Amino acid sequence: MWCEGRGSASVCSSLFLIYTIYRTTYEIREDELETGLNKAETAFIVIESLDGAGGTTQAKVLAQRLRSGGLSVFRTSEPTDGAVGRLIRSVLGGELQLTPQAMALLFAADRHEHVYGGVESITAALQAGTTVVCDRYVYSSLAYQSLECGWEFVMGLNAVFPPPTDLVFLSLDTEVCQERIAGRAHREIYEEMSIQRRVEQAYERALGFASEQGVRLHRIDGSGDAEQVSDRIWNSLASVPILEM
């Protein structure tokens, strides 16, 4: 079974559409990758981290600092708040159960809408000259979903998505991450120590792939308080010409 639990009928119905998206991924022309992302004269910054390392907080702080510097900023995250993103969050929270392959398909479908889905998409923001700050992107799928689905399967699903200009990776010891997660009211399915250690290893391969794509990689020490980490990110991104910081 691909899906079990409350709402499983609607989930299974949705997966038929998602599988169609997967099948058509390979038919999308390469020039779609050039529309609005690779040619954009602005920054597309992705922040990645282990769970509990503070990526969401730092994405918010970075967006605020960029706006204070006079830039127009679109701050966003994955999974999104859209229909597919909400379904993903239900699975992450343990309300529904899906196979790893189904989850990978869901993330790819959510991402396709996020990148190409009209006036509120990443593409639209970049075409308008807006700097994009995104909390998680393709590299999260490569780090998390590849553990159970395999690297090639996840790569195939995400082949249509262009790389960002900059990737900020927050490095923080898994034990520290777990201490932070322990204080949360609700834990997600990937937040166990054994999984996070495997994710940490998978991230190294994902970051290597980002470097091969020509993405500017910023490895940031995630220890200390939020302000210290924010300053490290800011100082690293200061070398990016189009940000003019």
* Predicted local confidence at residue 26, as pLDDT: 44
Sequence-distant (≥ 6) Cβ neighbours of residue 164 within 8 angstroms: 44, 45, 46, 132, 134, 137, 215
DSSP state of 120: T
Please tell me the CATH code under which domain 3-239 is placed.
3.40.50.300
Q: What is the pLDDT of residues 97-108, one digit of tens each?
A: 899 999 999 999
pLDDT category of residue 185 using cuts at 50, 70 and 90: low
Give the whole-number percent of the chain exceeding pLDDT 70.
79
pLDDT category of residue 243 using cuts at 50, 70 and 90: confident
Positions of E strands within the chain: 3-5, 44-49, 73-77, 96-98, 131-135, 166-171, 216-221
* Predicted local confidence at residue 134, as pLDDT: 99
Predicted confidence (pLDDT) at residue 177 exceeds the cutoff of 60? yes
* Predicted local confidence at residue 191, as pLDDT: 59
Predicted confidence (pLDDT) at residue 162 exceeds the cutoff of 80? yes
Q: What is the pLDDT of residues 35-76, one digit of tens each?
A: 445 555 799 999 999 988 899 999 999 999 999 999 999 999
Tell me if residue 114 falls in helix, strand or coil: helix
173 token code pair:
């010891």
* Predicted local confidence at residue 3, as pLDDT: 47
* Predicted local confidence at residue 21, as pLDDT: 53
Neighbours of 72 (CB within 10 A): 12
